[in-house]
Amino acid sequence: MAFVNDVIDRLRCVLSAGALLASTEELKPYECDALTLYRQLPLAVALPADEAEVAAVLRACAQARVPVIARGAGTGLSGGATPRPDAVVMSLARLNRIISIDPLARTARVQPGVRNLAISEAAAPHGLYYAPDPSSQIACTIGGNVAENSGGVHCLKYGLTVHNLLALRVVSIEGEVLEIGSHALDAPGYDLLALLTGSEGLLAVVSEVTVRLIPRPQCARVVLAVFDSLAAAGQAVADVIAAGIVPAGLEMMDRSTIAAVEPFVHAGYPLDAEAVLLCECDGTAHEVEEEILRVEAVLSRAGARECRVSRDEAQRLRFWAGRKAAFPAMGAISPDYYCMDGSIPRQRLASVLQAIREMEGKYGLRCSNVFHAGDGNLHPLILFDSSIADEVARAEAFGGEILELCVREGGSITGEHGVGLEKINHMCVQFGSAELEAFHAVKSAFDPHGLLNPGKAVPTLHRCAEFGRLHVRGGNVPHPELPRF
């Protein structure tokens, strides 16, 4: 206990008054991220105000060998920012300044606690914006986006976070500031910018981010396509890509999602449809017109019973409103829901959606699908009620089976939400022990004592042995001749 008090005292010294929280009621808001299944109070919460304080906090914790968990807005869905009782949570929320916007270089330099949407708002007067747009963009921070390599509806055309970064400043666990990447298009040495993006706070703490801005397209229109079969809608997505069209966004909602959102938003989705696709085209007015025609042709050929094209901006937003309201709407129809995040080749959408359907029976739980179809990034929402005995366990088992299916189909256990605590066991399915050891070694190269967000993202081999799951290599499972779902 003595050392604990020491660290807290030391942190109080390096932070300004009120920037160290240690009482139970002060710690409570930090007990979980948006994956609320996992809750835990940390030792303390540090609220540094600038990079120097970030470095001082890290130095103090490193000296005392106390783990540090970086936290942005806590909207993560995989438990990446879940505290542990022996760790200090370091919130970057106070580093929320947009340092500069350079319209001619098309860059924004921002502190890590700046909200994703705030960057686009600040760039708007110059006709520019920051493209990656997670649905949580009004709340999530750019630091969290970097740590998760977050995606969004428009990442199909404009890339993920990793494609839209130029440079980072990061602070190592020893409190040393490193400049990663550069304002040029490359930097000497290894591509540490790529390595750090998506590293879930395990390698270093991001203290500044330079993002690329792009010109806002002159016009955007969306096609709403209605399907009578989930399989046809899944195939239609693959057909759009196969036709060489890379739309700005291509999202799918299934019947149960439509039923949940339509009463909320009155977007005009037909309640009897098995699936709705939203396909957005952007660019100049002529370009959009040309692309819309091609998209409509592909979708009709794929069996869409109806294609509606947004006539104006108000209608475009109304078409999207249902997609955007999907999460809150689920909250209204089910006491709890569990949002999964796996990715698969787009050719597999139809069969995987069908398999999920069949799992609903097996687990006795409903599952709605509303997701980034164009990227092959599934977000099955498993509906459950945590007050009913064993529903949590069933929901987790259901989710786990979906993830394993994704790996078998040649995909990944996470497309954009990260591994965190939630999917740590499933890492054992996707990777063999040699790769997992390499990940641990990479972590040690940055953080020799394992103090940055320990226990997340990469499982120990011991844990995998206990979990007892079979690693599936390159889609090859033992006994491939057996039916899998």
Ligand X SMILES: Cc1cc2nc3c(=O)[nH]c(=O)nc-3n(C[C@H](O)[C@H](O)[C@H](O)COP(=O)(O)OP(=O)(O)OC[C@H]3O[C@@H](n4cnc5c(N)ncnc54)[C@H](O)[C@@H]3O)c2cc1C
Which residues 46-105 are close enough to bind another protein by CB under 8 A? 102-105
**Strand residue runs (E) in 182-248:** 205-212, 214-215, 219-227
Query: Among residues 132 and 400, whose Cβ is nearest to ligand X?
Result: 132
Q: In the complex, what is the shortest distance from the CB of residue 236 to another protein, in angstroms, rounded to a whole number?
A: 12
First-residue to last-residue Cα distance in the chain = 52
> By CB under 6 A, is residue 458 in contact with ligand X?
no
SS3 212: strand
Options 70-78, 185-193, 404-412, 431-439: segment touching ligand X (CB under 6 A): 70-78
> By CB under 8 A, is residue 450 in contact with another protein?
no
139/316 Cα distance (integer angstroms) = 23
From residue 14 to residue 33, the character string flagging contacts with ligand X as x (rule: CB under 6 A) and all else as - is -------------------x
* CA angle centred on 149, ends 144 and 154, rounded to 5°: 105
Options 138-146, 280-288, 356-364, 380-388: segment touching ligand X (CB under 6 A): 138-146
252/389 Cα distance (integer angstroms) = 32
168/146 Cα distance (integer angstroms) = 9
* Footprint (CB under 8 A) of another protein, residues 1-40: none
Query: Among residues 1 and 184, whose Cβ is nearest to another protein?
Result: 184
With CB under 8 A as the rule, give the number of residues binding another protein: 94
Query: Among residues 349 and 359, whose Cβ is nearest to ligand X?
Result: 349
Q: CB atoms < 10 A from the CB of 112, how many?
A: 27
> By CB under 8 A, is residue 345 in contact with another protein?
yes
Distances (CA, A) of 428 to 47, 149, 274, 467: 35, 21, 35, 8
* Footprint (CB under 8 A) of another protein, residues 187-226: 187-192, 194-195, 197-199, 202-203, 215-218
* Footprint (CB under 6 A) of ligand X, residues 260-319: none
Q: In the complex, what is the shortest distance from the CB of residue 253 to ligand X, in angstroms, rounded to a whole number?
A: 14
């991220």: which residue's tokens? 33
Q: Report yes or no: 302 and 229 within 8 Å, Cβ to Cβ.
A: no
Q: Report yes or no: 209 and 240 within 8 Å, Cβ to Cβ.
A: no
Query: Among residues 48 and 400, whose Cβ is nearest to ligand X?
Result: 48
32/420 Cα distance (integer angstroms) = 12
> By CB under 6 A, is residue 107 in contact with ligand X?
no
SS3 472: coil
Q: Which residues bind ligand X (CB under 6 A)?
A: 33-34, 69-77, 80-81, 92, 112, 134-136, 140-141, 143-145, 147-148, 150-152, 200-201, 205-206, 327, 416-417, 453
